[in-house]
A = this chain, B = another copy of it.
């Protein structure tokens, strides 16, 4: 199953401006995918025997999920585009993904959900930074 982000971008009826469509589509998809992965990772952590040792990871997952979703929403809109706001959200999202990726990576060796989630956070962070760079 893949998201239909590209079809939605291609059917936008007005000008998308000079934005890099491929980088935009990837970043949108990573935002929703990372929101899902972080929500699932927080929940998986809650079912680990050592949940007490994972509370910072859970909190980081929850923040990252909320921020990734909000960023995906903002990036999915093109009408009345505001470069300042887009950049500010991408910066916040990259910051959240970096923090969550780092903390999940610490547990990646013995918890597969943290390993998967760390990888997803890295991908989403990279997609955000790529898009920031492409905004010029």
Interface residues of A (CB under 8 A from B): 1-5, 7-14, 26, 28-30, 32-33, 35-37, 39-44, 46-48, 51-52, 55-56, 58-60, 62-63, 65-67, 69-70, 72-74, 76-80, 82, 84-85, 88-89, 91-92, 95-96, 99, 111-113, 115-117, 119-120
Contacts and interface: CB of A to CB of B under 8 A. Distances in A.
A43 B76 contact: yes
Number of copies: 4
B33 A35 contact: no
B66 A11 contact: no
A78 B47 contact: yes
Given A30-B1, A47-B12, A79 B63 contact: no
A55 B51 contact: yes
